[in-house]
Structure 1
């Protein structure tokens, strides 16, 4: 036999043996109920016959008990009758039956410990063999195993132990005790309400078995949270409000967790990308690809600091330098790097119990919401307790936050949305959760650790914004650095079928610049959105994509986000004002000056020189970020999120000055206004000046600038993309045929020289940006 064939045969045989053994140990369908013997099946058949005779069959129940108010019949069954058995021992909980099943030797028989079963099978006591079988193969349920955090790990390798009051045994026992205390008529009515209002619950589920079976079945079908919620509402519906309140108090910690899980699931289950389209929503878990994240020294990225990778779900496990758990973790990154999506993934994994199960609560306090609260008229003072209840009204009397042993997280994202200056040194100290104060004061005290001292605090924001937080209040700083080359492809393949994903991946990789920029998840989303639409066109993909349309979209989207997030405008109010246009023009002016100085960094003085505010450029624009503070001078330095963004903004500034003010800032004659009317309406003179700068630059710093300028002059860009934002629709159209002839002539000239082959290639790209119309 061939060796490979033999190995496959052996593995196949082992798999079959394993499957047979697994089938022997397989549990019944119920995930929580007790093991059932053959005698119980016979007893259930007898019970069904008795139910049919008494009129309790499903066909008669719907006639006898209308859905609005079910009424029990006069001849209610006794405890031993069909439907309910209340005299079962309380000891065999779910954990016991699971452990019993796992400890049962192959071939053994496990007899359920109901007293009625023992009485029904009393004839077994006369059979010595049967008695021996019970003693040998049906052991008593063992004591529950107490796991510690180092023993029980979840799928992410993290401790995953729920608090005892939030775990299954407590919920199971609480519902069981509550329902068992009901009178016969109340119990019947309770079960019928459950049956009528829960489509997944059938009549046999509520009528067969005893109380333990009933609770077992509803938890198996509905889950812990929904079973608890429905038990409470059903008790109130049948007039047992006091009993419902007792159960609510007993399971208060679990109810708070369930409410928060519902809120976070609703908020993050579906990822919102761009304009919402009906039927085109994507589930976060389906499209999410985790960006690379690293720990770094405070003050943003320190090149001398050793980077350590960290995943989103492990942020809660980070430690300070002395090995103690970190309380305050700051996460930063450039605009569009995926901070908001990472928050959503962390919260959704916790809500769906995939990670960090030992966190009892996650309280979300967005700085954007706090900013809206701060600007209410008149200003409203709150305590921490009132603030949590304000955003989570279901969690009234949320006293667990004061418990030092309570593990919970406070997530405060979008720090850059809170535009007020915080007084870190002189803010009033608050030492309890009940003292009312201004939102500014509460935020400072949360970060200081004066209030909610037991909380793990996660703060997210752009670098220039979070840099105002004093370093002594922060334990660990992490930075999201975007997608690796592999993650870019994985992201696109997750969104589309194999063929379309392969087309998109191969298409965008034709341009090294676009491939490099796609490390931002925001750009990857844009690639997916644009190319999905483009590949529906016949013949698309024959030529490489153009760059300018993507960079134009980046500026438009980031400006619209600024209007939404920082100015509070709705989606139907995203009309750019003259101030918005002037701000973009001034940012482009600064980028153009940096291009002339051959630098990619700017300072606060450079920002002021162009008539801008530092926050507008480094935070609100979404186009710039803060660099690590140099150890030598300590001055704050900034840059555009990518060097090509700087080139594009410089080209956009030159185009805006030409289009709106008829100025050629590239002209060596100190930006004079064109002399003749014909010159003001022609773009060829503008491109001629740009070509002169490109040819005179040996370092090639104007190559991308020229390419973007030609792309912006393309009718596809300035007429279709920019016209409704930067100028009116009725503005006279540009004539670019002369520019096309100029570029063709320059290409022929460059090809005639062996030393200008690179220049010829760049000019071809400029011509393609100007004339290609496949987008």
Structure 2
């Protein structure tokens, strides 16, 4: 009905004033709106929550249907007589592998270990795993000890001696010469250090040292259950899987997020993903990776890993200009896995050995992100994405490296850092008793080595133990009754002699006792020495064909060298016949480099070391070598200097008969000893450099300073010592002794800053240091901070010293470093 209009005679309605209300709104005041009745409930558009619920209800139905079908398939596979073969797509295979892993997990929870093992072995993953295990057993059952040539291998289990491995530390750069790491490792392990083994590398602290689950015998593994029992087990497994999915979906339906995608949060800390293991050259890192691979292949360790892929950076370097997808790369190196198109749902362990030898530019800041294992990329991009977890985030990685290259991997990509320390004292003895089966010989060798501190220190390195045993075994078995070597120089000269005789026996059918150095042999030694020196100057420890060309060597000659001096120089064929060359250990390269420099000077008068000395006399030559070693960064020429000075002795020169003729004399050696003692007393010389100069005196057979300090220490007259050289000798003797340096009290020796600065290596080797009331100043704090960041020191007493604010600030830099283990600071 229309509203009544104005009556007769009424005044006209005034025109309304302008308003911001729309005409429609104004009109609606007089004409109220009528709304339609809401549609029935079943015709209304679903909201976001209802849509999500519907999606996941359908998803749950589809997944449970798929899981049921797959469980039935696995059941059929288990009762079949044949393993599985599949030609499915990658997506289908990935889903099936996921269900397989869930099934195996629940079977093991139900204590059905035998059934889980049988099912795993019959699946396509199991077939590939068994082929891979067989391949790795053949590859690592025998290893080359010190050499890499056919005919010199030995069973790994026969020669393997357990190594001392510690947890902790930072993946930071360390540019010290590795001989210093060796000397640090020669001390007894600190009580605060946590040791580990290859078997425990990827276990969390709560799971360590747990009893190992008993392995099935072959007979037990082949036993089968009845059809009814199997069906009952699978029905229970399917119900468990269904319950798991239901629990997973319910919280998502009940708690939809309006702020963005739903994110799953881990309820507890996940397993260790990436382990970075540091260790000096020759300490046994590669053998450790071979041991772990063989243990997995033979079913002794890491059986939760389905596939294990051991790589070396040497072989990956060869592919630096090639593109692969991750799947293609794995198929390329391990053809046994070509039946698998996806590795995303599998528990995989990658081993990357020798990061220090990597020639790929691992750029973690600019490398593009890859998430699909089927996407092609350079080998460098694949490695970077594997390490940072973009590719196969569930995979485990074990990377080994020498300390100087550890910082190539960002700290955030490393779950745990470990360090291979080499042999402990009992392990050294165990190694030599394995090598010398004759009990009397073994006892004599061990006694001899223990009596020479410089040799005993180096025995922490397995390769050096091999060098020692090779030399000593040869001397004991031949009719030569020469005195056993007492210095490093003598040991390496004997090694060269042994290899020269091996060469002559092999190529000239000699008897091995009356052989002499031929011109051809010396030409080989000179060429190897030239290569060693030039590459040492560049910092190269592995060489490619281009490196050999730069040194004037062709590949044919290098192949002859590696075939003749197999224990000194080796070639390692890689893919596509590419060859990598290296000396078996850094010390061998340093010895041959020193031999080259020494022989060049005395044969041609050319000094290959830069020198400010105008004289070209032998005395000036050795002085220039001392100066160069003291000026080299972080002691990189320390061991080179020891060998060079050791070669100056006529007794050592006589061990190298042939064309090398030196003109050194006793007076020249005395001048060198005098010059070294002068350097030892100079202010500002670091404690480490002082110790190396004392080792040099030992190579020169001058023990006068050490004998003097030995008498002083025996008589208890340490308070009368004043010179830096004397305190360096005290440090040397303390580190050489068998006594436990758990607690070091500076006041027992001399409460002075001079004494402390020279005894810092002793502080570093201790777990508790008492420096109270020793007259220390801020000058001591920077060296002490360095000790805190690189030792196992747990207690430090600095009370009653005027350190001042500046000194405390310096100490704090050491306290903040990751490796610092200090518990108590006074």
Question: Aligning the two structures, in what range does the TM-score lie when normalised by the shorter sequence?
Answer: 0.3 to 0.5
TM-score normalised by L of structure 1: 0.47
Q: Pick 1 or 2: higher relative contact order, CA cutoff 8 A, min separation 6.
A: 2
TM-score normalised by L of structure 2: 0.45
Bigger Cα Rg: 2
